[in-house]
Structures are given as C-alpha cells and as structure tokens.
Amino acid sequence: MAISKGNWTLGKTGGSVITDNGEGFAPNTGHSDVEYYGGYLIAESIQKKDDARLIAAAPELLAACQEFVRKVECGEARSRRSYKQMKAAIAKAKGEK
C-alpha cells in the first residue's frame, strides 16, 4: 500500500485534507497548489469537519491497527505502546489534543 507520505492535517480551505510531503504528486494537477490548500491535497469537498478529521487521522489509525495486530500475532496483545498509539490516533480523528 502506498499512501501519501507526511503529516496529514486539515487544509486551510474548507473541507480539505492535506499533507506536508509532496512526494508522488504530479505537477499541474492542482494537488500541489500548496499556497491555496496549505499543503499537498489529499481530499477536498468534504462537507463535515468530523469526516475531514477522520480522513486526516487515517495514516495514524492504520499504523496503530497494524501495530496492534502485529502485537496480537506475536502474543504481546497487552502492549502499552500500541494502546497509546491507538488512543492518540482516535483523539486526532475526534479533533482532541
């Protein structure tokens, strides 16, 4: 799986999610209009802010779930690190600090 790299956040225009890493973004497509969006465009036209937060948290949610599954498969399901990682990803998705 090759998702866009970098830190995904809410963009400066309403209803957009951006990344700070432009690797893999084709020029002249609008996705690299950093001045307008505030970063490289992942998604736009997202009507609900809660949905945009969830999309912005997707990389962290995926990483936390993958780490947790790995820990379960290795018999380390009670990992404090995995728990903290999942809590942080959930908080980001909910717009909490």
The domain locations on the chain are: 7-47, 57-97
C-alpha span between 27 and 47 (Å, rounded) = 26
C-alpha span between 15 and 37 (Å, rounded) = 10
Evaluate whether 47 touches 75 at the Cβ level (below 8 Å).
no
The stretches in the chain having pLDDT less than 70 are 1, 77-79, 97
Strand, coil or helix: 9 = strand
Give me the pLDDT at residue 55, please: 95
Question: 14-39: per-residue pLDDT in tens?
Answer: 799 999 999 998 888 888 899 999 99
